[in-house]
Chain A
Amino acid sequence: MIEFKNIHKKFGKLVVLDGLNLSIKKGGVFAVLGPNGSGKTTLIKSLLGMVIPNKGAILLKGESVLKKWEYRNHLNYLPQIANFPPNLSVIELIKMVKNLRPKESNEQELIELFGLEPFLQKKLGTLSGGTKQKVNLVLTFMFDSELIILDEPTTGLDPIALIHLKELITKEKEKGKTILITTHIMSFVDEMADEIVFLLDGKIYFKGSIEALKKQTKNDNLEHAIANLISKQYA
């Protein structure tokens, strides 16, 4: 479904992606992992067209996405930091995003799920970090798209919201959607992910199932298996 072909990206002198090749098939939860600054967000943002690669091609369902924008109607993205215009109220923001995307949405269900009704009329500037993240989740999940990209979705969520998030992801997965997640919470990966993509030095260092990773690193614990991979960078 998604194909990255020989992606190079430099920020000044810093090489972030260095000839990265990756193909992701349709359906399932893919966890994009890697140490801090390994290029996870850059990878995702180049798929979204927010970062423009120096070299390489990105194909979504066989079509190049570079310099295009219509394809974004077929994907949902949850940004890392939820910071919204402080003067808008929650409901206005939801209406605005709906207005920008001419697509069916089921925000009401999600608002109830995350218990956001009391906050609907509140200004976004007055909300706590966790509540903002919930609004962020509503905005991401309210559209029905084949591809869902979540950048650090668990940030600031309370345990109940986290359970709801997991349920949501499972539900979407069952519908045959492709879900990309970046996170540093390994228990979350262990629970949710079908496949792991591990980035190191701007390349794909490992791609495969959790079992395969555990086998390869001879480690039963995912957290340690990942730590094992990362420690090779420092070695």
Chain B
Amino acid sequence: MLKILKYSFFDLMRSRWSYVYFIFYLALGFVLLFLNNNLNKAVITLMNIIIVLTPLIGTIFGVMYYYNSKEFTELLLAQPIKRNTIFMGQYIGIALSLTLSLVLGLGIPFVLYGLFKSTAIFDFSLLLLVGTFLNFIFVALSYNIALSTDNKIKGFGYAILMWLFLAVIYDGVFLISLLLFNDYPLDKFSLIATMFNPIDLSRILILLKLDISALLGYTGAVFRNFFGTNFGMILSMVILSFWVVLPVFRMNRKLRKKDF
């Protein structure tokens, strides 16, 4: 698997898009620091961007890589390697290269600005950790979609829809249902609903750490009241891990019966 991982990783690291992505984060980091002039504030702004953008990039990269390397994957499938190994190698290769772009792109400006002397270092590391989680989650989800959809255009469509749903629509539906069922106790409902959306979960995780009540929102507040800050963080981390493990598990199951 390491061999496949290595090649997928280097293949991606050499593609133009990895650089574009890296430079985008680099620019973003510098601009945010320049505008906010404060590490802590920059971290908050960054959170909002990371939480929406990393899933999108992960989704697009995942489907794009799968469909683009289809013929090459077929070449690999004819080699004496296990199927799972090939796809797991590719998956980890993509997620790692995206994570590297993220960590380096944001890390460089923040370190230059004096991150290590600042108290924001833990918040910032958590932010990168969540970004990493989101990369692994959304690349896995998009690989699932791509594996189940042979038609490239449809696959892209579903993947983007999935992102749109989790990043935007989910919150809207959630809010509407909160309004509609205002008369009922909604704590449990909102708790569970949050766990079904990795983006929401990440937001809450970071906000719990940053300890900004004003930004927590209803779900975050319920979450904190119910679990407390520390346990809430651990729990959301665990659920995020599930969000990685389950799609990966399904990927491996799907592979057993897939025709190429």
Contact = CB atoms under 8 A, between A and B. Distances in A.
* A and B from one complex: yes
Interface of A: 11, 45, 48-52, 69-73, 77, 79, 81-85, 87-88, 96-97, 99-101, 139
A126 to B, nearest CB: 14
Contacts of A49: 77, 83
Contacts of B11: 85, 87-88
A50 B74 contact: yes
Given A71-B80, A97-B79, 9 more contacts: A49-B77, A50-B259, A69-B83, A72-B80, A85-B7, A88-B7, A97-B75, A100-B81, A139-B75
Nearest to A73: B80
Contacts, number: 63
Interface of B: 3, 7, 11, 14-15, 69-72, 74-83, 257-260
A62 B21 CA distance: 52
Contact of B260 (A50, A72, A99): A50
B69 A85 contact: yes
A70 B69 CA distance: 23
A83 B71 contact: yes
B134 to A, nearest CB: 25
A45 B260 contact: yes
Contact of A84 (B72, B77, B259): B72
9 contacts: A45-B259, A51-B260, A52-B257, A77-B78, A81-B71, A82-B71, A85-B69, A99-B3, A101-B79
B79 A72 contact: yes
Contact of B259 (A52, A81, A87): A52
A29 B258 CA distance: 30
Given A83-B72, A84-B72, A100-B3, A50 B81 contact: no
A87 B97 CA distance: 15
B259 A51 contact: yes
Contacts of A84: 71-72, 75
Given A50-B77, A69-B81, A72-B80, A87 B15 contact: yes
A100 B258 CA distance: 22
Smallest CB-CB A-B distances: 5 pairs: A83-B71, A73-B80, A77-B78, A72-B80, A50-B260
A50 B78 contact: yes
Contacts of B75: 79, 84, 97, 139
A2 B67 CA distance: 32
B80 A69 contact: yes
B78 A100 contact: no
Nearest to B65: A85
Q: Taking each of B3, B79, B82, which has the highest tally of chain A beta carbons within 10 Å of its own beta carbon?
A: B79
A159 to B, nearest CB: 26
Contacts of B70: 83
A79 B259 contact: no
Contacts of B78: 48, 50, 72, 77, 79
Contacts of A71: 80
A85 B72 contact: yes
Contacts of B71: 79, 81-84
B17 to A, nearest CB: 10
Contacts of A72: 78-81
Most buried by B among A48, A82, A100: A100
A147 to B, nearest CB: 12
A97 B81 CA distance: 11
Nearest to A139: B75
A128 B259 CA distance: 28
A50 to B, nearest CB: 4
B258 to A, nearest CB: 8
A82 B75 CA distance: 9
A49 B83 CA distance: 9
Q: Which of B15, B69, B74, B78 has the most CB of A within 10 A?
A: B78
Given A11-B259, A87-B15, A96-B7, A48 B80 contact: no
